[in-house]
Amino acid sequence: MGSLGVDFISPNEKLELKFDSSALPPFKLSEIRAAIPKHCWIKNPWKSLSYVLRDIIIVFALVTMAIFFDNWKFWPIYWILQGTMFWAIFVLGHDCGHGSFSDSALLNSVVGHILHSFILVPYHGWRISHKTHHQNHGNVEADESWVPMPEKMYKELDFATKFFRFKIPFPLLAYPIYLITRSPGKKGSHFNPYSDLFQPNERKCVVTSTLCWTLMVALLFYLHTVIGSLQLLKLYGIPYMIFVMWLDFVTYLHHHGHEEKLPWYRGKEWSYLRGGLTTIDRDYGVFNNIHHDIGTHVIHHLFPQIPHYHLVEATKAAKPILGKYYREPKKSGPIPIHLVEKLVKRLLTIMGSLGVDFISPNEKLELKFDSSALPPFKLSEIRAAIPKHCWIKNPWKSLSYVLRDIIIVFALVAMAIFFDNWKFWPIYWILQGTMFWAIFVLGHDCGHGSFSDSALLNSVVGHILHSFILVPYHGWRISHKTHHQNHGNVEADESWVPMPEKLYKELDYATKLFRFKIPFPLIAYPLYLMRRSPGKKGSHFNPYSDLFQANERKFIVTSTVCWTLMVALLFYLSTVVGFLQLLKLYGIPYMIFVMWLDSVTYLHHHGHEEKLPWYRGKEWSYLRGGLTTVDRDYGVFNNIHHDIGTHVIHHLFPQIPHYHLVEATKAAKPVFGKYYREPKKSGAIPFHLVENLVKSMKKDHYVSDNGDIVYYQTDPKIFNYSGKKDK
């Protein structure tokens, strides 16, 4: 498996053994800086906070699951997962310490103290010593983290110290001792404001962090009196030690364990650039995304002010400058087993992107631009602009997203059952409905074949995911394929296609109202599955529907049977837990999911500031139809919903996996030019899209019966019904 959410740097060829890594680099730091795109330096506090929210939700969901299951078969799984999440939380606090979390020193300090105190790290004490490490990386005399000892000092150490320094597992449990006493040969403590680590003007910061650390220790002591020492050890103590092992593994492997011997410097031979070039990038497989791309360590060391969600892109941009001074990380499977070898030659590591550096607008399209004009480029030109790796489907990576979403869904159920409080239920409904939508998107990828190259795997996973949320997988897959093949075509499109004026005026008022009066259009999806849209006949459950060819009927039967089994399971559960409990746990989240689905699919084809064309006859082409789709920025939901907002490229090339869509979009934009409409940048919650949705529902009602290029028109009477039929 590659990185989770990130296309990690893949090796082309190994460094030649003759290359001298200690030679003075033929480039300057300023040249590397200039190669990195400007947007990589921009810090988005909402994006940073969304990662904090994600990690906190997962931590507390895991605690809830552990309490709920309380089984010795489950506890080891919990310890590994929770310890891994503690490490992820440390990395976000680490970003606060570097100032890459946001441009606000106050926000960085508050969030950093909360996150680091939770895992017993004195925030400012660590921040200052870590700053020393970055300022002196690769310097034997001044570096702070995993710095090699001079021979004389090493030989003066007693056997026990050497043993604990180099004999696994002891070095992997050393971090708490380092906080208290630093490394051998160095004096001071991260808790003592008068330590050699700190300047006089830094002492008050250290006092603050030590106080926060003490309060966390006091809270843990109190919790042990409430739940008992054993329970606290299981819930917090063992995960904390797993976190410590992660921290020691990762920090060690970023400075040691490469195939070639890497230099360390003293005196005039050392420089900030030469020291930074001794660091090593690592690929941690599925953990890249979980641990916020900590594996992209070279660029992080040289420019620690770059936010973690831009590090992969910044690394790619800098590689042509770095040349052989950059050591390609060995590509990892889902679990970075190869790093275990390095750390018994030096052990394991982790980290990675969920988020997405969403495409940010530079300037709006000019109003004079005619979006219906024939594009001056071909589909093949867009395809050629997209990097080759964006077409590669990684089934392990795809399955990791499935696992993530399923864990969150069941964790939320466990939390709802545990709390069972009316103050909590509305939060649960929103979160769970959102996760149902995320699950739909993964099943949607199966339907497109972008989940993997295995038709069997796609079908099995697609049926499981879609049946769970009452979607007939093959029925929907085939109708959705029709939508993609005919997007933007008034006569043949399938999803949210505009009605011709004559058909629209023949509709009764109730049908018009349910089509355009919010909230009714946002709960229409189940009805669409049964009856399709107005003016179209057929059902997604009926193998003899107009939707399907004769050779597709057996698929429809399979999906309808799976759907029926899910309905039967829900009926059975209602007899076990009661109808009201099932409604709370499943029914209401299902309706939230339906609202997500209807809102998102509508907004990807409607509601843009400019009028977008629809086509008929010879004026329609696959490319022109695809260019009528609209990208959207969903704020914190971009990562949760698997980048469904990057819709233009998805419509043109549905075989591209969702985790490559953002990169593919960026690569294609120079070809698109003005035919690409930059999505409006969202805050954490995409409130601006509600306004777009409401406005569009009020004015986009039908298209003319005449003409091969048409635009939506407005029925002024629809929301002022007189009881008279249109003539």
- Spatial distance between the Cα atoms of 43 and 150, rounded to a whole number of angstroms: 40
How many structural domains is the chain composed of? Answer: 2
In this structure, the number of other CB atoms found within 10 A of the CB of residue 369 comes to 11
Percent of the chain with pLDDT over 90: 52
Looking at the domain assignment, is residue 666 inside a domain?
A: yes
Looking at the domain assignment, is residue 98 inside a domain?
A: yes
Three-state secondary structure string covering 135-183? HCCCECCCCCCCCCCCHHHHHHCCHHHHHHHHCCCHHHHCHHHHHHHCC
- Spatial distance between the Cα atoms of 263 and 256, rounded to a whole number of angstroms: 10
- Spatial distance between the Cα atoms of 124 and 130, rounded to a whole number of angstroms: 10
Query: Which range among 137-141, 260-264, 273-277 shows the weakest confidence by mean pLDDT?
Result: 260-264
Looking at the domain assignment, is residue 279 inside a domain?
A: no
Contact 155, 148 (CB under 8 A): no
pLDDT at residue 452 tops 60: yes
Angle separating helix axes 105-118 and 123-135, nearest 10 degrees:
110
Looking at the domain assignment, is residue 287 inside a domain?
A: no
Q: Of 233, 265, 297, which one is at a domain's C-terminal end?
A: 265
Looking at the domain assignment, is residue 493 inside a domain?
A: yes
- Spatial distance between the Cα atoms of 256 and 344, rounded to a whole number of angstroms: 12
- Quick one: pLDDT at residue 22? 82
pLDDT at residue 119 tops 80: yes
Query: Which range among 148-152, 183-187, 449-453 shows the weakest confidence by mean pLDDT?
Result: 183-187
pLDDT at residue 15 tops 70: no
Percent of the chain with pLDDT over 70: 89
- pLDDT (tens digit, 9 = 90+) per residue, 416-439? 998 888 888 999 999 999 999 999
Contact 646, 665 (CB under 8 A): yes
Q: How confident is the model at residue 724 (pLDDT cuts 50, 70, 90)?
A: very low
Q: Of 265, 280, 295, which one is at a domain's C-terminal end?
A: 265
- In the structure encoding, which two tokens stand for residue 529, read together? 């599955």
Looking at the domain assignment, is residue 379 inside a domain?
A: no
- pLDDT (tens digit, 9 = 90+) per residue, 302-355? 999 999 999 999 999 999 999 888 888 888 777 777 766 655 544 333 222 223
Q: Of 221, 250, 265, which one is at a domain's C-terminal end?
A: 265
- Quick one: pLDDT at residue 497? 87
- Quick one: pLDDT at residue 723? 44
- Mean pLDDT score across all residues of the chain: 86
Contact 329, 294 (CB under 8 A): no
pLDDT at residue 59 tops 60: yes
Which range marks the domain in which residue 704 is found? 395-710
Question: In this structure, which amino acid lies at residue 654?
Answer: P
Q: How confident is the model at residue 165 (pLDDT cuts 50, 70, 90)?
A: low
pLDDT at residue 383 tops 80: yes
pLDDT at residue 361 tops 80: no
Looking at the domain assignment, is residue 330 inside a domain?
A: no
The radius of gyration of the chain from alpha carbons, rounded to an integer in Å, stands at 28
**Residues of the chain by 3-state class (helix, strand, coil), percent to 5:** 60, 0, 40
- pLDDT (tens digit, 9 = 90+) per residue, 223-269? 989 999 899 999 999 999 999 888 888 888 888 766 667 888 888 88
Average pLDDT, stretch 637-656? 94
- Quick one: pLDDT at residue 168? 66
Looking at the domain assignment, is residue 641 inside a domain?
A: yes
pTM of the predicted model as reported, rounded to 2 decimal places:
0.55
- pLDDT (tens digit, 9 = 90+) per residue, 667-714? 999 999 989 988 988 888 888 898 888 888 888 889 898 999 999 998
